[in-house]
């Protein structure tokens, strides 16, 4: 014990330096969006390769669980196909608006920062590009931020800068969904007017009023509703449809007409700058 204390005392300056550098690094990553993105992207090939190898080992021991999960997902997809079979035009519209051509695996996923990111094992060599929407088997996940040859980084729905254009499904009323940096299971529902009837259990989906997600992609289910006497909008919380704790596979959306829509939006923004 005395020997250990002597070593600690001898190298106290170096240990203090390492400790302070660690604290500074954590503060920079957690408070600066650019540096946070650079860190969590795992864009450097070494980190991404290590994460991928680690995932392959863990996946081997979870094959039974994954098979059960995929079977449940297939059952859900079959049910959706049956529900759409009565409306060929609806099915055609869904296929035209989004192409689910790229399946990816999550190899890194942060949950407990204010700004969280995911790393996927698909990059621009697979057709992935910045701005693509990402969905999971149960709901939306995020948006592609950066790509390398074989990997891509996604801004998670669990990010302070993410705001999703949504609608209240029972009434089709527009609203927004944001994550306030607290529980990874829940998000806040904003801008739903007080005259709209809303109750726990109502579903919230994407509005389609952007070039990221098609309409009617599930975001979550209303879990709490509050209304102050003089408030214009509800204070509501939704339970996210996507389970970020055990998210393993996702799909990348390539919306038709996205480039044209983005170009028009940029021109409009220039006019009002």
pLDDT digits (tens, 9 = 90+) for 195-239: 999 999 999 999 988 778 888 899 999 999 999 988 999 999 999
* Spatial separation of the C-alpha atoms in residues 14 and 194, rounded to whole Å: 59
Given CATH 2.40.10.340, say whether it is the number of domain 45-273. yes
- Whether 48 and 107 have beta carbons less than 8 Å apart is answered as yes
Closest CA to 215 of 122, 133, 104, 128: 133
Query: Where are the chain's structural domains?
Result: 2-31, 45-273
**What DSSP string runs through 123-163?**
-GGGT--TT-EEE-SSSEEEEEEEE-SS-EEEEEEEETT-E
pLDDT in tens, 100-132: 568 899 999 999 899 999 999 999 999 999 999
* Spatial separation of the C-alpha atoms in residues 117 and 111, rounded to whole Å: 8
pLDDT in tens, 28-46: 756 665 555 555 555 455 5
* Spatial separation of the C-alpha atoms in residues 153 and 159, rounded to whole Å: 13
pLDDT in tens, 56-102: 666 666 666 666 666 566 656 645 654 554 444 444 444 444 455 68
């Amino acid at each position: 014990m005395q020997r250990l204390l002597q070593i600690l005392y001898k190298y106290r300056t170096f240990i203090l330096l390492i400790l302070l550098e660690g604290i500074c690094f954590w503060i920079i990553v957690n408070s600066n969006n650019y540096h946070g993105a650079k860190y969590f992207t795992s864009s450097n090939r070494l980190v991404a390769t290590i994460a991928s190898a680690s995932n392959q080992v863990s996946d081997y021991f979870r094959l039974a669980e994954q098979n059960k999960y995929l079977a449940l997902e297939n059952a859900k997809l079959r049910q959706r196909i049956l529900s759409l079979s009565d409306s060929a035009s609806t099915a055609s519209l869904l296929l035209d608006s989004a192409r689910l051509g790229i399946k990816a695996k999550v190899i890194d996923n942060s949950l407990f920062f204010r700004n969280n990111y995911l790393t996927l094992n698909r990059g621009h060599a697979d057709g992935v590009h910045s701005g693509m929407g990402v969905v999971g088997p149960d709901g939306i996940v995020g948006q592609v931020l950066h790509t390398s040859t074989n990997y891509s980084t996604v801004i998670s729905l669990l990010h302070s800068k993410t705001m999703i254009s949504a609608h209240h499904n029972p009434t089709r009323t527009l609203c927004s969904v944001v994550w306030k940096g607290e529980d990874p299971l829940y998000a806040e529902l904003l801008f739903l007017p007080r005259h709209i009837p809303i109750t726990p259990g109502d579903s919230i989906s994407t509005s389609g009023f952007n070039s990221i997600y098609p309409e009617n992609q599930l975001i979550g289910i209303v879990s709490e509703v509050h209304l102050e006497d003089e408030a214009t909008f509800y204070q509501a919380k939704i339970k996210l449809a996507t389970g970020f704790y055990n998210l393993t596979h996702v799909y990348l959306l390539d919306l038709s007409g996205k480039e044209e829509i983005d170009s028009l939006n940029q021109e409009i923004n220039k006019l009002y700058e």
